Chains A and B, each alone.
Chain A
């Protein structure tokens, strides 16, 4: 069965601190996709990044970076120099071809950035 675990339920930091969100996944499929979504207080789900199982290259986008390690089944997300606007719930998710692309979400990590 597919499963996504986000062990951290809530993280509180002060502005400009770095914060790393952990994501561990389980799947028997060799072809799968990993995602991060952001849910700000307004409630919508905003797509941040997608990674396929054959691409372990880390990615950086502005203050966001992602570390994908198949050996540990992890896809961690780091926000560098956090800002108040980063306060949100962040979800890690997994999909695989056989399931028609539906996403299995982790429980989410609430990030609170204090000024």
Chain B
């Protein structure tokens, strides 16, 4: 158990819909990262937050947005969903983004868009 909690574990929805994925980082971790794992793109970095502020952005679509709340949990919002958005979405956390430490990953949220 990494200590990172993601909900929901599985989600099935239709094209055009909007979903929200939630992540609670490990206790004490200030930094949260979102990754997308799809068959054709592998593990892709989406976005990083540190103590409520956006720190780095990767290949995140404009239809996607995220935020980190004062209690440090984070949400990833995916809107106008397309079939290609079907993937496993991981959240990870770390203590200090400058320290080069390992990221601890949640179990992922598997999104299926029909």
Contact = CB atoms under 8 A, between A and B. Distances in A.
Interface size class of B (residues with CB under 8 A): 20 to 34
B48 A33 contact: no
Contact of B98 (A52, A97, A106, A108): A97
Contact of A107 (B42, B58, B106, B110): B42
Interface residues of A, number: 27
B98 A100 contact: yes
B11 interface: no
Interface centre among A33, A35, A42, A43 (most CB of B within 10 A): A43
Contact of B107 (A31, A44, A103): A44
27 contacts: A32-B100, A37-B105, A43-B88, A43-B107, A43-B108, A44-B2, A44-B105, A44-B106, A45-B90, A45-B105, A47-B102, A96-B100, A100-B31, A100-B48, A100-B50, A101-B31, A101-B48, A101-B96, A101-B98, A101-B100, A102-B33, A102-B45, A102-B58, A102-B97, A103-B92, A104-B45, A105-B42
